[in-house]
Structure 1
Amino acid sequence: MKNNHVKKLALAGILVAVGIVCSPLSIPVGASKCAPIQHFINILSGVFLGPGYAVGMAFVTSLLRNLMGTGTLLAFPGSMCGAFLCGILYKYGKHLPYAYAGELFGTSVIGGLLSYPVAVLLMGSKSAVFGFVVPFFISSFGGTILAVVLVTAMKKMKILDVYLGNLKYQ
Structure 2
Amino acid sequence: MNINYKSKKLAIVTVMVALDTILSSIFRIEGMAPMSSVMNIIAGVILGPVYAVVMAFITGIIRMFIFGIPPLALTGAIFGAFSAGFLYRYGGNIYWSMFGEFLGTGIVGSVISVPVMILFTGQHHELYWLVYTPRFIGATVIGSIIAYFILVNFMKIRLFRQIQNIFAR
Bigger Cα displacement from structure 2, 148-157 vs 79-88 = 148-157
What amino acid maps onto 2:129 in structure 1? F
89 and 164 in structure 1: CA distance in 2 versus 1, 3 angstrom threshold: closer
Identity %: 33
Alignment RMSD: 1.7
Deviation at 1:150, TM superposition (A): 0.6
CA deviation vs aligned residue, 1:82-138 (integer Å, no higher than 9, x gap): 001111111111111100000011101000000000111122345425321110011
d(CA) in 1 for partners of 2:81, 2:128: 22
Moved over 3 A (4+): 163-166
TM-score for both structures, normalised by structure 2 = 0.88
Bigger Cα displacement from structure 2, 63-72 vs 47-56 = 63-72
Contact 2:45–2:164 (CA<8 Å) still a contact in 1? no
Question: Is 1:161 aligned with 2:161?
Answer: yes
Which segments of 5 or more consecutive residues in structure 2 lack a partner in the other structure? none
Which segments of 5 or more consecutive residues in structure 1 lack a partner in the other structure? none
Structure 1 counterpart SS, 2:129: coil
Residue 109 of structure 2 corresponds to which residue in structure 1? Answer: 111
Question: Is 1:25 aligned with 2:27?
Answer: yes
Contact 2:48–2:85 (CA<8 Å) still a contact in 1? yes
What amino acid maps onto 2:160 in structure 1? L
d(CA) in 2 for partners of 1:73, 1:42: 17
d(CA) in 1 for partners of 2:14, 2:119: 32
TM-score for both structures, normalised by structure 1 = 0.87
| Structure that is richer in helix per residue | 2
Structure 1 counterpart SS, 2:149: helix
Deviation at 1:4, TM superposition (A): 2.3
